[in-house]
Structure 1
Amino acid sequence: MALLRALIRTARMARHTASLAAGLPADEEVLLDAPDDRLGPALVAAGRGEYEPAAKLLALTRERAEWENRDRYVMRLATFACSRPEWFEHWRRTEPDDPDMLLLRAEQAVARGWAAPARAEQLGAATPLVTAAAQGDPRDPVPWRVALDQARGTGAPPARFEALWGEAVRRSPHHYGCHVAALRFLATAGGRSHDQCFDFAERAAQDALPDSLVQALPLRAALGHLTASTGPGAPGPVPRARLDSAADLAAALSGRYAVADPWPAEVRNVLVCVLVRLERWPEALVQLGRTGPYATSFPWDRFSDDPLGQFLELRDGVRIEVAASTPLRGRRGRDASGGH
């Protein structure tokens, strides 16, 4: 019987795997962390050593209070400045008090601190830069997201977290980046359970605006639980229903955005990862179709030094699993006629 099941599974895979690639971009068309139409030109100019387009872009996000875009752009530009620093050093020398440059400098310092062997020491040394960034524009929540990331790495006490979190939500109650930073802080704080992280994420999602990415915060909690280390001292299990509910909420959010929209790309990548972990293969394939060509480093860089390769490998695996569970002869015609 086991041999028969294996043969049927193999036959199903051979019959259906190729057809399930329909609607998915070819491997060579998939992009990793593709910039949008506004960030792309700024990165190209920075590659030529010119800082002005990046400065204008960040100034525009600040003037228009585009805090979500601002947060994304700051992280991408800081990463680029680590490998191609000439344009950023020119900006620092030319406009040392520019609030956008100060924010970018703080983000870069915290990112470097997280990568340093002496993490807590390096992150602590970044405090003056984070403070200067927060003073750049009193309306801006992004420096407080940076401060939350810094506090997590230095092992700050709960009182410090509460103070930073209060400053962040006072400026932008539904800022996705600050919510993610807060959830990550809670997940690493001593004595916190996965249930407490889910409580925080679910409350935030319930209070979020209809199309806000904060509605995907329970999905981030689910990913944290599904990829957490096990063993003595590890947090206890989370009910399967709670994990499924987080995935369902994120899938509903994904459905409100257009297919191949780059804005929710990271949420969709995380959703695919969680659905695979839950072995919800057909739904994972649906989300891969909605993701289109936009792969994101997170969450795949948690599992491989080649996040794009990991994404493409998983995409193939999902197609194989769906094909293996698809009947050799479908009942579509009979079902469509009402079973007669």
Structure 2
Amino acid sequence: MVGTMALLPPFIRTTRMARTVSRPVAGPRPDDEVFLDAPDDRLAPALVGAADDSYAPAAGLLATTRAGAEWERRDRYATRLAAFARSRPDWLDAWHAAAPHDPDALLVVAQLAVDRAWQSPARAELLREVSPLITAAARADDRDPVPWRVALDHARGAQAGHKYFEELWAAAVRRAPHHYGCHVAALRYLAESWHGSHRECFDFADRAAQDAPADALVQALPLHAAFAYLTDGCGPKVPRERLDAAADRAIALSPRLPSADPWPARMRNLLLFVLVRLERWADAVEQLRLNGPYATSFPWDRLSDDPLGHFLRMREDVRGAAAGGPPWHPPRGHGGRIGVGDH
């Protein structure tokens, strides 16, 4: 186990960059103007096209992200398109049939296959059967790290050994040293492999964040480690100051990302979750302001079958607590420190 952690961090050594994005921030929105899992302006036409059984908008979108090496957005878009294809696959089937070697179609096909297998009781066995699809996606464009993120998730679900996972990790970070999705996949693998060893997971997340550019999403990786700890319920306690430091990193990142925009909403929703657990009400109110009208299913679906309703209740209760009302605590679920899990 120790050997694995020793092998994971050395990749993070590239030139730092900084970019600040400034946009007007919308004020509080009424409940009926809050959106759950809203697509951004680039993804929305692709989803509309897919709903009309046209794959051309999705193909154009993913081709653009690949040409521009927009790996973070490519990862998010491919994941959302695969999620749509779970219930409406005809457009993807037609795309794959028309362009069987298209790197973009192959990526969505691989993601969809992993998603479908993950939900089965025979997950490990089914995931092993879809390995050739991931290999095809990875070989279709050697620059692309996103198929390697799919491979890392696949390896976790298939209960792959450490040596194999390390090989995948090395291939992923050669292509994109600070790719957020690959880092989250690695952190989740470590969390499952070292169940309860939250300090080691924090070490990995902190090292990655320290060497990443100031505006990289990897700055939020310690936030995932904090979430995993807060929702687990095993292992020794992590000092409060380490949880606060994880939140502080994400708070510093948040103003560098577009405000009141669907793109960073998932990170801000996760940050809100952690800030609420830490009872940092003023910071939570500020993140609500930056977040605008965008709720995301994760992490609220870990607490409720109605993530939007839970988000809205949290929002109002946080504002009340910040104004001097009684502190708000999420309801407890089936286990762990607060009764939810991180998948």
Q: CA deviation at 1:52?
A: 1.0
Q: 2-side partners of 1:88 and 1:264: how far apart?
A: 27
Matched, 1:177 2:187: no
Unaligned runs of 5+ in 1: 1-21, 327-340
The aligned counterpart of 2:291 is 291
Q: 2-side partners of 1:109 and 1:156: how far apart?
A: 17
Identity %: 62
Matched, 1:197 2:187: no
What is the letter of the counterpart of residue 270 of structure 2? V
The aligned counterpart of 2:307 is 307
Matched, 1:277 2:265: no
The alignment covers a number of residue pairs equal to 301
Q: CA deviation at 1:255?
A: 2.2
Map Cα deviations across residues 239-280 of structure 1 (whole Å, 9 max, x no partner): 000000100111111122343133221111111000000111
Q: CA deviation at 1:147?
A: 0.4
Report the RMSD for the aligned CA atoms in angstroms.
Answer: 1.5
The aligned counterpart of 2:249 is 249
Matched, 1:236 2:240: no
TM-score, normalised on structure 1? 0.86
Matched, 1:38 2:45: no
2:86 partner SS: helix
Question: Is the 8 Å Cα contact of residues 186 and 192 (structure 1) preserved in structure 2?
Answer: no
Q: 2-side partners of 1:66 and 1:23: how far apart?
A: 30
What is the letter of the counterpart of residue 293 of structure 1? P
The aligned counterpart of 2:86 is 82
Q: CA deviation at 1:195?
A: 0.6
Question: Is the 8 Å Cα contact of residues 196 and 236 (structure 2) preserved in structure 1?
Answer: no
The aligned counterpart of 2:144 is 140
2:190 partner SS: helix
Q: CA deviation at 1:146?
A: 0.1
The aligned counterpart of 2:111 is 107
What is the letter of the counterpart of residue 262 of structure 1? P
Unaligned runs of 5+ in 2: 1-25, 327-343
Q: CA deviation at 1:325?
A: 4.6
- The correspondence for 1:130, drawn from 134, 141, 162, is 134
What is the letter of the counterpart of residue 253 of structure 1? L
1:83 partner SS: coil
Higher helix share: 1
Question: Is the 8 Å Cα contact of residues 32 and 308 (structure 1) preserved in structure 2?
Answer: yes
Q: How does 1:297-336 map to 2 (within 5 A)?
A: 297-325=297-325
Map Cα deviations across residues 157-181 of structure 1 (whole Å, 9 max, x no partner): 1111111110000000011111111
What is the letter of the counterpart of residue 44 of structure 2? G
Question: Is the 8 Å Cα contact of residues 281 and 321 (structure 2) preserved in structure 1?
Answer: yes
Q: CA deviation at 1:36?
A: 1.1
The aligned counterpart of 2:15 is none
TM-score, normalised on structure 2? 0.85
Question: Is the 8 Å Cα contact of residues 258 and 264 (structure 2) preserved in structure 1?
Answer: no
- The correspondence for 2:170, drawn from 162, 166, 180, is 166
Q: 2-side partners of 1:288 and 1:219: how far apart?
A: 17
Matched, 1:222 2:218: no
Q: CA deviation at 1:314?
A: 1.0
Q: 2-side partners of 1:289 and 1:69: how far apart?
A: 23
Q: How does 1:14-33 map to 2 (within 5 A)?
A: 23-33=27-37
What is the letter of the counterpart of residue 157 of structure 1? G
The aligned counterpart of 2:124 is 120
Matched, 1:157 2:161: yes
83-92 or 67-76: bigger deviation = 83-92
Q: 2-side partners of 1:324 and 1:203: how far apart?
A: 37
Q: CA deviation at 1:191?
A: 5.3
Question: Is the 8 Å Cα contact of residues 113 and 130 (structure 2) preserved in structure 1?
Answer: yes
Larger radius of gyration: 1
Q: 2-side partners of 1:103 and 1:41: how far apart?
A: 19
Question: Is the 8 Å Cα contact of residues 155 and 189 (structure 1) preserved in structure 2?
Answer: no
Q: CA deviation at 1:310?
A: 1.4
2:101 partner SS: coil
Q: 2-side partners of 1:141 and 1:129: how far apart?
A: 15
